């Protein structure tokens, strides 16, 4: 019934909602919830919601330890804009010659002679998400991210890690990235995601030491091409694991787990229902002509559990033989396809239609055909 109605089990829904608490464990601004959970011993054996959230997080490698964010100081949005350069985005990549981008980027570098240039990139391939930080010829840092991390998260995490690397280094730094969406989220004061907020705070604290520059990808800029190839090669080498605290990625990951558990429900259903599900088409409109009694009958046919075929489970007797032909054990496939006593009714009702196809796709016309067969065969009351 859960698979038919597409309703999640209570356990799956509980684990999903409990797992979502992990972002409160991570980003809580008051006393960390996991500390409160450990500060007293529970007299009963039932786990608290916080304890269960920690268990779910550990099971799926989701971070739950609280992280400190520097939100006490208000940042100046003008300084954030000065710390991010997206001038190259004013030129259409599809229509602007590569040589023009090279000249524009060279002019940016010439205007920043005291800056050390770094390049960041993120990659996701074969289920492995990673990032890297390089200069034009050497790898500064590479990292492996959780499997639930998106490409966008890998790009902004790379920027974040680059800022953490440079903030206490001598001199000024220019961090080049080909992720315009990451810079856009950083420049947007209404974006309160962890990495965008943290980068804004870091840029404001260390202004004007660090500059983030957008550069187009795959146009032959040496540092960017090196970072891109390094990020794609990361999957082949052991990397330092870097947690991903992006609550959006965590929520999508938990939802994906919930949906996979729902898919697993189908594998535990009867062979009949699995065949019905495989025959169903996604664009089948639902019927709107069946009354309540006929809806119950139709759902029983789809599930494969009817009075005719399953009464012996309730009565605790041997499986029934077909009451019409008395030659075979009764099941829906026998009734719909092979019972010789129902051959005239099948010919009259189904014509060239496949009964299982009709049941799998309950349109108004298909429902009428099935009900007509059950009525003419005088077995409607036994479904």
pLDDT at 24 over 50: yes
Once rounded to an integer, what is the mean pLDDT over residues 100-119? 96
Does residue 316 come out as left (phi exceeding 0), alpha (psi in the -120 to 50 range) or beta?
A: left
SS3 341: helix
Residues in the chain: 383
pLDDT at 72 over 50: no
Q: Tokens 């709107």 belong to which residue?
A: 288
Token readout for 318 is: 């041997």
SS3 369: helix
- Its pTM surpasses 0.85: no
Token readout for 96 is: 């602007």
Q: Tokens 């705070």 belong to which residue?
A: 201
Strand-pairing partners, residue 173, are: 116, 210
pLDDT score recorded for residue 287:
60
pLDDT band at 321; cut points 50, 70, 90: confident
DSSP strand pairing (210-214 vs 172-177): parallel
Residues 6+ apart with CB under 8 A from 101: 88, 91, 93, 215, 216, 219, 221
CB 109 within 8 A of CB 117: yes
Domains of the chain: 2-67+253-265 (no CATH), 77-244 (3.30.420.10), 272-382 (no CATH)
């Amino acid at each position: 019934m859960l698979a038919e109605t597409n309703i999640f089990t209570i356990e799956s829904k509980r684990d999903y909602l409990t797992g979502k608490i992990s972002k409160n464990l991570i980003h809580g601004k008051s006393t960390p919830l996991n500390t409160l959970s450990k500060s007293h011993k529970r007299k009963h054996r039932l786990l608290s919601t916080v304890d269960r959230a920690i268990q779910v997080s550990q099971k799926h490698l989701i971070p739950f330890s609280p992280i400190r964010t520097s939100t006490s100081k208000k940042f100046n949005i003008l300084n954030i804009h000065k710390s991010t350069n997206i001038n190259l985005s004013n030129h259409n990549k599809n229509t602007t010659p590569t040589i023009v981008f090279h000249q524009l980027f060279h002019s940016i570098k010439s205007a920043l002679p005291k800056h050390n240039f770094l390049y960041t990139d993120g990659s996701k391939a074969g289920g492995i998400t990673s990032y890297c930080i390089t200069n034009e010829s050497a790898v500064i840092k590479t990292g492996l991210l959780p499997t639930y991390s998106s490409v966008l998260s890998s790009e902004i995490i790379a920027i974040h890690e680059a800022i953490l690397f440079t903030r206490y280094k001598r001199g000024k730094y220019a961090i080049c990235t080909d992720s315009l969406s990451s810079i856009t989220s950083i420049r947007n004061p209404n974006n309160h995601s962890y990495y965008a907020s943290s980068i804004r705070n870091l840029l404001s604290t260390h202004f004007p030491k660090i500059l983030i520059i957008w550069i187009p990808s795959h146009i032959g800029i040496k540092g960017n091409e090196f970072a891109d190839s390094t990020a794609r090669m990361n999957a082949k080498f052991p990397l330092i694991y870097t947690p991903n605290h992006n609550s959006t990625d965590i929520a999508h990951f938990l939802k994906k787990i919930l949906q996979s558990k729902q898919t697993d429900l189908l594998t535990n259903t009867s062979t009949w229902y699995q065949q019905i599900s495989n025959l169903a088409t996604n664009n089948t409109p639902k019927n709107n002509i069946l009354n309540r009694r006929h809806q119950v009958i139709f759902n029983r046919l789809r599930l494969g559990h009817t009075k005719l075929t399953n009464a012996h489970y309730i009565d605790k007797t041997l499986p029934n033989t077909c009451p019409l032909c008395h030659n075979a054990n009764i099941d829906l496939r026998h009734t719909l396809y092979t019972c010789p006593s129902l051959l005239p009714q099948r010919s009259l009702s189904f014509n060239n239609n496949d009964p299982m196809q009709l049941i799998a796709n309950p349109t108004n016309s298909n429902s009428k055909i099935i009900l007509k067969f059950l009525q003419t065969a005088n077995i409607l009351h036994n479904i």
